[in-house]
Amino acid sequence: MNLKLPDKIEPLLWEVLKTYHQKPPNCAFPRSGTVIKAYRKHKEGLDLVKKDVSEFVKDQYFSGEEASRVSCLSNNKFPYLLEPGIQHKVLWFNPRITMSKQFPKNLNTAHGFIDVCLSKKLPDKDKYDIIYFENQSQCRSIPGIRHIQVFLKEKESFDNSEI
């Protein structure tokens, strides 16, 4: 069976993303061709030094002085294709913490825990509308490190001075 992909993949709209808040999709979201090429190049580089992606993330965010921190919020280096105005971040969790019995089994239902983590990492959290989810296991490109996809869109402000 020959599957033909569309010539032009449209960016995901905020309204579509909202349907996945704490309810992850059962397929991978699209990325631009440029991002896909950059990701492949990144993985090839890791292969050369015989390091897997999970090891790389652990070393980058949870080693040295950062070894004991619970989580880390970073820009997604290989973001989904999104409409302008949406930030794509990743909230990574330290593997030393995720192995504990107290760590939530399902991050999509751990609203309070995620809100606390985001509040600590994003001091101006209230100025954003936020969507997040943990990908289903079959959709995870980095299965060795628990993480959630976080999308931020600045809230529309209204000028009350004209009222």
Domain ranges of the chain: 14-155
pTM: 0.89
Per the CB < 8 A criterion, the answer to whether 92 and 71 are in contact is: yes
The pLDDT of residue 7 is above 50 = yes
Residues 6 or more apart whose Cβ sits within 8 Å of residue 106: 134
Other Cβ atoms closer than 10 A to 151: 24
- Describe the strand order of the beta sheet including 147-154 as a list of residue ranges: 71-75, 86-93, 147-154, 128-133
124 pLDDT more than 70: yes
Residue 111: CB atoms within 10 Å = 12
Whose structure tokens read 């936020």? 130
pLDDT value at residue 8 = 73
Does the CA dihedral 138-142-143-148 come out positive or negative?
negative
What average pLDDT does this structure show over 72-94? 97
Instruction: Please tell me the least confidently modeled range out of 11-20, 57-66, 100-109, 153-162.
Output: 153-162
